[in-house]
Amino acid sequence: MKNIFKIASLLAAAVMLFACGENNNSGNEGVGAKDFYLVADKDVIQANGADASTLTVYLDGKDITSEAVIYNDKNEELALVDGKFTATANGEYKFWATYGTYSTFDKKLDDNGLVTVKAISVAVPEVVADPAASKTSFVHRTFLTQYTGTGCGYCPYMIKILKGLMADNTIPDKAVLAAVHSYSNSDPAYISAPKVNNYPYLHVNLTQGFSHSSGSAALYSLINDDLKSGAKAGISVNPKLYDDGTLVIRVSVKAAVEGDYRVGAWLLEDDIYGQQADNDNVGDSSYNTHENCVRLIDSRYDGEWAGKPLGTIKAGKTAEKTFVMNVKKAWKKENLHLAVVVSAADGSKYTVCNAVDVPIDEPTPFEYK
């Protein structure tokens, strides 16, 4: 399935928004159609003048690209041959479209609803071949987000629970752990966001909170309850780390259940040493070596960390997303790995419905039961 960015509709008359200090796109908003949207079939291309992303405009499911007008973020009309966009310089290129009074530009959406194509100097990996195209029964894992820090004196209580959990032979294949060291910037694994009000803390599938005071049995129960429902989607990952530190991650999501999905990538590093504060002497010297530390996150959209939009995926079908990260030289490549999470719409929020933890140097296909 193409990387579709659908623009939610307004069936009423146009509402034109003007504000002092707005960028020069103010006034571009028009009437929303029931289903009017712009599609980029590739969100990342190689900046070689040949690799192309095809931009297509749809109205109620009909391709109207030849009748629509496509603009860049400078409001310049583009003359694209067969809708194909190429680039010779690295960068992010943004687009929106109009057809009569309809416009995909929408200030209520992230980045005003513009579709972004990123051009990079290196090649984009291929999607991993599906080993069982007719299957939709996937291995299912719960995603755990640990909020911690070396300067947090009560964090060893949570560390103890998670160490036991991940060492349990019945659990590692059931859970993916990402440790967010956002407590203090003196932490060698510090990352500025996301943060929580109280440390230590844990999020289960980015939506349900867990406190260490509840005990390990309660966490086991949460995980087992989550896994009973089965995986709504599966994930394949093909990452490529280049010598200049560019990490390109090609992800495919395959739906077992039709739904609205998002996907995100978290770069993790193991074996980071940092003296762990321990107010109550809960741990030992092993608590000074930190695993699954989050280095980079490309998963934030519309104020949530649940991933970037993929749109609606029908059961048995796939959607793709490509992530690009810049890996610092100070990070030990041999200790890096990726957590990739897929989230499904759940009422007014998105909840992680599956996760994988994969190497940065080899392809990982869909995992079937």
- pLDDT, residue 137, reads 97
- pLDDT, residue 79, reads 95
**What is the pLDDT averaged over residues 327-338?**
98
Confidence of residue 28 (pLDDT cuts 50, 70, 90): very low
Confidence of residue 210 (pLDDT cuts 50, 70, 90): very high
- All structural domains of the chain, each given as residue ranges with its CATH number in brackets, are 4-120 (2.60.40), 142-359 (2.60.40.10)
Residue 20 has pLDDT above 60, yes or no: no
| Residue range 172-203, pLDDT digits in tens | 789 999 999 999 999 999 999 999 999 999 99
- pLDDT, residue 34, reads 54
Confidence of residue 2 (pLDDT cuts 50, 70, 90): very low
- pLDDT, residue 277, reads 98
Confidence of residue 126 (pLDDT cuts 50, 70, 90): very high
Of the chain, the percentage scoring pLDDT greater than 70 comes to: 91
**What is the pLDDT averaged over residues 339-352?**
95
**3-class SS string, the chain:** CCCEEEECCCCCCCCCCCCCCCCCCCCCCCECCCCEEEEECCCEEECCCCCCEEEEEEECCEECCCCCEEEECCCCECCCHHHEECCCCCEEEEEEEEECCEECCCCCCHHHHCEEEEEECCCCCCCCCCCCCCCCCECCCEEEEEEECCCCCCHHHHHHHHHHHHHCCCCHHHEEEEEEECCCCCCCCECCCCCCCCCCEEEECCCEEECHHHCHHHHHHHHHHHHHCCCCEEEEEEEEECCCCEEEEEEEEEECCCEEEEEEEEEEECCEECCCCCCCCCCCHHHHEECCEEEEEECCECCECCCEEEEEECCCCEEEEEEEEECCCCCCHHHEEEEEEEEEEECCEEEEEEEEEEECCCCECCCEC
Residue 337 has pLDDT above 50, yes or no: yes
